[in-house]
A and B are shown apart, each in its own frame.
Chain A
Amino acid sequence: MGYVPVKGGTQAIDASIQRLKYERLKDQDIIEIETIMSTMRGMVDQVMSESSLYSPYLAALAIKQAEGSMEEAVFLMRAHRSTLPRPYYSQTVEPEKMLVERRISASFKDIPGGQLLGATYDYTHRLLDFNLIEENLEDNLQWLQNYHDQLKQIEAFDEVKYFPKVVDYLREEGLFEAHEPDNTSPIDITKRSLQFPTTRSERLQVLTRGQTGAVTSLGYASLRGYGQVHPTVGEVRVGSVPIYVQHPNEMEHSDEDEFYIGEIKVTEVESFVPTTVKNENNEYELEFEIGYGICYGQNETKAIAMSILDQCLEHPESDFPTHDEEFVLLHIDSVESTGFISHLKLPHYVTFQSKLDSIRQVKKEVPTVEG
């Protein structure tokens, strides 16, 4: 009779964890948190966005610990998020007050305030730069020096300049419906689980923390044919917005008493989508609607895809899956999708035994045991 183990899991797990640590340490190189923060901007931004926790430092730590695995880093951040008490909600953030680093519109050749290209990969050729293999700090410093010198020649304004929203210009023309600001407090989806049908505040929260790949794929599907939304990007803006919280105890509030707690960098997108609406005389009219996308850091693809999905979900009457809120919202979360897919690696022998039994019984037609 062969040996069949009853026990033995604990030691095996310990060994596996040791092995994992070995894989991270074996080449005897250490990447510093600061290095990740200053050289892995895109990854740090994506981790913060998908984990819905804004902290470049912790995101960099998560990336280090996860050896650069995106899903693992997001997972670490989300788990950490669960240990943090949440004493405050911020005041409404006004993206008009953004300190813009980049702002473009695809809808117009020129826009009030001008197109501001900023830093983007969009206009680069994706050729591997073999010079980076030999990169050195001295050359980089020299480059930076030259860059700063060139900037000095540009005249700076003393006043902070805010950029108007492209949509405001069209709204004046009556092409967009002017809505009253809806000041209902948003539902916090991390305090109350999604109930269907959802409110827009819930949908936007799920979309903005969605996995970049998932949001992009579904947005793309809608654009390509599995949806009825064909947007034009009205405006993409990237920049920092200030965050304020109210005094927790004061009964009377004024803007003066608000506390500035820092700023966050976001990407904001407003997509213009033509839709058919009925006017007062029951005639069909074309009108523009806005799809809204926003996410932490600079991640324009995700924000644009989000704006498409937001618009899709505003029209649940369409039969496409991208317009089905349960289909979209319940399947784009990184922690949920990667978690459930990976749980298939857990042992399933009891459930499988149950399946085996059922299939054998059906095949053999043996009298079954009454329960």
Chain B
Amino acid sequence: MKANTHFAFFDEGSKKEIRRAIMKAVAIPGYQVPFASREMPIARGWGTGGLQITLSIIGKSDVLKVIDQGADESVNAVSIKKLVNETTNVELTEQTSEATIIQSRHRVPEVPLTKGQIIVLQVPMPEPLRGVEAKEYMTKRMHSEDDYSGIWLMLFEQIMKYGKTATFADHPVYVNGRYVMAPSPIPRFDNNKMHQSDSLILLGAGREKKIYAVPPYTNVESLAFEDYPFTVESFEGLECHLCGSTDIFLDELIDQQTGITIHQCNDTSFCMDQLNKKEKAEVQTSYA
């Protein structure tokens, strides 16, 4: 009774079904397309939406990169990479620029994405209006009626309470001037990378059974008021203690020996790149 799994796990019928949902999502930027999400060999909430997209679009010539919270070797990224690799045998990479498909949880890589690349984001809560309205039936109606007063009010109330908007990750965005969309829990720092992106952005929520997309060169604006503009996480005056990079998203760590707070690139492959470049430069200068 031993069975081999099909290429990319799914049967072809399932893949086709998911690709149809993706096509619709691309055609209506920011609109959440319901799809019959399959149960995956990894748990719901662990990236099954992203994984289903990846498995249904991947071909033999693709090169895959998977990151979780910015790291290529984070436990879940490794697990997902392993599953895709075992069922497809595609090439894996940690180099952002080499990948044709990048599946990511909670980050858009620091290296700008290019034309032809696809970034697949894992989404836990696809509905940006859920905080305003608990019922799916109602939020769907609000989207279709272009009724976003609730979410604007939420931001306004934050300003009243805290003197500024106090959203965390997953700051809602306007896509193509029509749909308000949850960009997935990427930090606010990454929101702007979605605007007029050269690459296709696909977002998949497995448990909530939704797929949505931001096609290349689409306007993506973070929700904000004219007098209270959108702000990103501040890393002013800080740099990576390993590679010295600035203007990137940093992780806050505590040095185990000294107890001092240090900062480090969140994007681990970017950090390695910077370190390698530095080393190369040092070697060259020492020759000169």
Contacts and interface: CB of A to CB of B under 8 A. Distances in A.
A72 to B, nearest CB: 10
A351 B168 contact: yes
A18 interface: no
Contacts of B277: none
Interface stretch (A9-17, A147-155, A163-171): A9-17
Interface string B174-192: 0000000000011111011
A193 B74 contact: no
Contacts of A362: 162-164, 166
Interface stretch (A81-89, A99-107, A111-119, A277-285): A81-89
A82 B272 contact: no
Contacts of A357: 233-234
Nearest to B135: A326
B44 interface: yes
B183 to A, nearest CB: 12
Interface in B22-58: 34-41, 43-46, 48
A26 interface: no
A7 to B, nearest CB: 5
Contacts of B48: 339
A82 B241 contact: no
Contact of B264 (A4, A335, A341): A4
Given A12-B75, A350-B266, A361-B164, A342 B252 contact: no
Interface residues of B, number: 86
A182 interface: no
Contacts, number: 198
Interface in A172-223: 188-197
B132 interface: no
A326 B137 contact: yes
B71 interface: yes
Interface string A243-259: 00000000000000000
Interface string A331-371: 00001101111110011111101111111011001101111
A1 interface: yes
A339 B205 CA distance: 13
A144 interface: no
Given A193-B35, A336-B207, A371 B5 contact: no
Contacts of A3: 256
Nearest to A193: B209
Contacts of A225: none
A350 B169 contact: yes
Contacts of A286: none
Contacts of B156: none
A83 B73 contact: no
A365 B162 CA distance: 9
A57 interface: yes
Nearest to A77: B39
Nearest to B236: A369
Contacts of A262: none
Contact of B268 (A7, A335, A371): A7
B45 A371 contact: no
B149 interface: no
A48 B232 CA distance: 48
Nearest to A7: B73
B222 interface: yes
B44 A354 contact: no
Nearest to A5: B73
A298 B171 CA distance: 48
- What range describes how many residues of A lie at the interface? 35 or more
Given A7-B73, A83-B5, A326-B136, A350 B106 contact: yes
A291 B2 CA distance: 41
A81 B36 contact: no
Contacts of A190: 36, 38
A4 B264 CA distance: 9
B44 A340 contact: yes
A3 B189 CA distance: 27
Contacts of B241: 1, 4
Nearest to A360: B234
Nearest to B21: A193
B76 A346 contact: yes
A188 B230 CA distance: 43
A78 interface: yes
Contact of A9 (B70, B77, B105): B77
Interface string A66-82: 00000000010011011
Contacts of A4: 241-242, 253, 255, 262, 264
A4 B266 CA distance: 12
A354 B70 CA distance: 14
A79 to B, nearest CB: 4
B162 A369 contact: no
Interface stretch (B8-16, B95-103, B111-119): B8-16
Contacts of B255: 1-2, 4
29 contacts: A4-B242, A7-B268, A9-B75, A10-B78, A79-B41, A81-B39, A82-B10, A82-B40, A83-B3, A83-B5, A195-B34, A326-B135, A338-B43, A339-B43, A339-B46, A340-B45, A349-B251, A350-B107, A351-B169, A351-B185, A353-B233, A353-B251, A355-B169, A356-B252, A361-B231, A369-B231, A369-B232, A370-B230, A371-B189
Interface of A: 1-4, 6-10, 12-13, 57, 75, 78-79, 81-86, 188-197, 326, 330, 335-336, 338-343, 346-351, 353-359, 361-362, 365-366, 368-371
Given A2-B256, A86-B13, A192-B34, 4 more contacts: A12-B75, A75-B43, A197-B137, A346-B75
